[in-house]
Amino acid sequence: MVISKKVEFSASHICRSAQLTDAENERVYGAAANPLGHGHNYVVEVAIEGQPDPVTGMILDLKRLRDILEDKVLTVYDHRLLNREVEPFCDVGTSVVPTVENIAIDIWNRVAPCINGQARLYSVKVHETNELFVEYRGLR
Amino acid sequence: MTVHLTRRYGFAASHRLHSPRLTDEENRETYGKCDNPHGHGHNYEVELTVRGTVDPVTGRVVDLALLDDLAERRILAPFRYRNLNEEVAVFRTIVPTTENLGLEVDRRLREAWPETFGRGGPHLEKVRIRETDRNICDIEGSAGDLVAGVRCQEP
């Protein structure tokens, strides 16, 4: 059984790779390569897989899941410029571009270690706009 | 018969809420995390409500191709994927709150409205701007008031 929780944050980003030239960045990322940045209302859906506990009837304590998402996602991402304020997108010398794909992978990496006991992280979906979202299910 | 038609558009942009007329501390108190110096962003939605009579030939209140073209030229192209504070001139001096963004959208549309639709054409009834699902601003009123409304907030 899979249970999902949704949270939202607003953030800005710049889609440019240090490994590409300016012309290549503009070709690959289009308007999203604007060096001054732009932003989105991101919607994150975190899905947890497990069986309901015979006593509580819950896969995972939802208050705990709420706290995990607050600490590991919202505190980190909400109202931030990802390229300047959120690792690994702000690391000098590395080139992790804050695409919606890489955001989903980063959120997985932050949340997965916090889900323990019988439950495990099943998937992370990140919606960047109404028309675009990704789903990541970890290394498999 | 009068009909209201609403057309929805969207653009993604970043902004920072920070007034040069407030101290840093006052800005933090007023705007909270929206005052983050690096900025943050949203998927904005703009809803334009047009009032008019249904044309007996076309069956439409407004020529949607003209409305779409107006919205694209005056709002979407200048705002899409932009840092509003840095790249939209009016927001160099005016704080790009949802309210002021709505007023600026309204001003831009009304400025070009007569040349687009001519005399006796449809009327721009309302501009709604949605910053998030919980933060929505409606602009209804005459052009003159709204322009003054924007200007009176300049430092």
Please give the ipTM for the structure prediction. Answer: 0.72
Q: How far is B26 from chain A (nearest CA, A)?
A: 18
Question: Reduced to 3 states, what is the DSSP secondary structure of residue B15?
Answer: strand
Distance CA B101, CA B105 (A): 6
Q: Which of A57, A53, A52, A136 is nearest to A102 (CA)?
A: A136
Instruction: Look up the CATH number of the domain holding residue A29.
Output: 3.30.479.10
Q: Which residues of A touch B86 (CB under 8 A)?
A: 36
8 Å CB contact of A85 and B15: no
- Tokens describing residue A122: 């099943």
A15 in B contact zone (CB under 8 Å): no
Which residue is closest to A132 within chain B, CA to CA? B43
| Contact flag A12-B82 (C-beta cutoff 8 Å) | no
What is the domain count for chain A?
1
Per-residue pLDDT band for A139 (boundaries 50, 70, 90) equals confident
Please list every residue in chain A whose beta carbon sits closer than 8 Å to the beta carbon of residue B135: none
Q: What is the pLDDT of residues B86-100, one digit of tens each?
A: 999 999 989 999 999
Q: What is the mean pLDDT of residues A70-75?
A: 98
Of the candidates B104, B127, B99, the residue with the CA atom closest to the CA atom of residue B17:
B99
Nearest by CB to B40, from A31, A32, A79: name it. A79
The percentage of chain B sitting over the pLDDT mark of 70, rounded to a whole number, equals 91
Nearest CA in chain A to B132: A41
Mean pLDDT, to the nearest integer, of A81-87? 94
User: What are the tens digits of pLDDT across the range B53-88?
Assistant: 888 887 889 999 999 999 999 999 999 999 999 999
Chain B residues close to A85, C-beta within 8 Å: 38
Are B41 and A85 within 8 A, CB to CB? Answer: no
The residues with which A102 forms a beta bridge, in sequence order, are none
Domain count, chain B: 1
Residues of B in contact with A10 (CB under 8 A): 40-42, 132
Inter-chain touch B38–A8, beta carbons under 8 Å: no
Residues of chain A positioned with their CB less than 8 A from the CB of B81: 31-32, 34, 38
Can you give the residue range of the structural domain that contains A104?
A: 2-136
Pairwise CB contact (< 8 Å): A39 & B39? yes
* A72: Cα within 13 Å, side-chain hemisphere: 20
Looking at the predicted structure, is the pLDDT value of residue B149 above 50?
no
Mean pLDDT of A91-110: 89
**Is A26 part of the contact surface with chain B (CB cutoff 8 Å)?**
no
Residue B113 is part of which domain span?
2-151
Q: Give the residue-averaged pLDDT of A32-57.
A: 94
Q: Least CA distance to B82: which residue of chain A?
A: A38
Residue B147 has pLDDT above 70, yes or no: no
Bridge partners of residue B11, in order along the sequence: B44
Mention every residue, 6+ apart, whose C-beta is less than 8 A from residue B138. Answer: B102, B126, B127, B128
pLDDT at B57: 82
CATH of the domain at B138: 3.30.479.10
